[in-house]
Amino acid sequence: MTTVARVGRLLLDGVFVPGSVGITDGRITSIELAAGTELPDDAPLIAPGLIDLHVHGFGGCEPLEDLRGMASALARSGTTGFLPTLFPDAPDRLAQDVGKVGAQELDEACARPLGVHLEGPFVNPAAAGALPPDRLVELSPAGLFELLSAGRVRTVTVAPELSGSRDLIRALDREGVRASLGHSLATCEEARAAVIDGACGATHLFNAMRPWHHREVGLAGFALTDDALYAELIGDLEHVSAEGVALALEARGPAGICLVSDALAGAGTGCDAFEIHGHGHGVRRGGAFYREHDGEHSLLGSALGLLDAVRGLHTAGVVSLEEALVMASETPARALGIEGEAGRLSEGARGDLILLDPGDLGLREVLVGGVPARGITADDR
């Protein structure tokens, strides 16, 4: 039996309170409050490990080529659970990719893959954004079955306005797979119909969606005004402005918004440029851009990890630290239906913790199932 304990200010119900957390054999077995106790000023802030619902790569690694490297780098950055996210492709090739991700073995101190997120291929080419339009396909029950049979698919991004989408969303719901609405020009009514069919998420709110209009608020407006959807929000302040983040938070609160990184492989490396799928990317203000044929730069994904987004949003005064951490841990766990397993400091949950310096929010330690993630240094702050 292996037991570890940590003392500091615990994030409980959205508030930091002094106390200690005990972990035995990978599970939280005790939460002890220390009301009236004076902790040292440098006592760590202790929060649940972060959960990223949308991440394409990290630490120089991608899920298809080196899931172990990606999961290890994520753990060292404070993310303890994640959905490796694949770009679209023809269903037969994408099914092979799903199987390849699932076949890779990980170390115990790595972040845990919680299933695969397929960002397409059943999305609207007119709202493809940076997704390769030649790899998008028409909705197909046979294609969907091929994908779901290949491995543990947890989320599929779907455009609800496409012909056949209602049947596809119902099929996903029957199979226990989350349908997340995105890369879409859906109207508000089309989004509402998709929720009736079982959709429960919105992929990177505001990005690759119908622009807001006061007479047709579209998918983004529906996601802001109805609590049926857990809305992803990229927190690098490049994909969505500070005002956009504040609007989303005012509308839905921390319980309705899931911070995601949408990170690419270059995130977490500190590099200013990297290459993915033959495209060179440059990093500006936390976003990853690639140069198109006409010389324009298009925003593809993020160059920041999830904890970087938490720090950035808090430092910019957009949200409180507690709100940002809830949106990066508890709310994503609820979106996945695993809130008893992860995302909260509670007895019986996995011992996935992050310990932050109260001054600069540097990452002191990460525990994954009670096991310290290796390689955390002052540079990770």
Q: Which positions are annotated as active-site residues?
A: 262
Residue type, 366: V
- The DSSP bridge partners found for residue 117 are 85, 155
Work out whether the CA dihedral 282, 284, 290, 291 comes out positive or negative. Answer: negative
Question: Of 119, 156, 122, 160, which Cα lies nearest the Cα of 138?
Answer: 122
Distance in angstroms (rounded) separating the CA atoms of residues 314 and 361 = 10
Residue type, 187: T
Residue type, 123: V
Question: Of 245, 240, 160, which Cα lies nearest the Cα of 200?
Answer: 160
In degrees, rounded to 5, the angle at the alpha carbon of residue 240 between the alpha carbons of residues 236 and 243 is: 110
- How many CB atoms are closer than 10 A to CB 37? 10
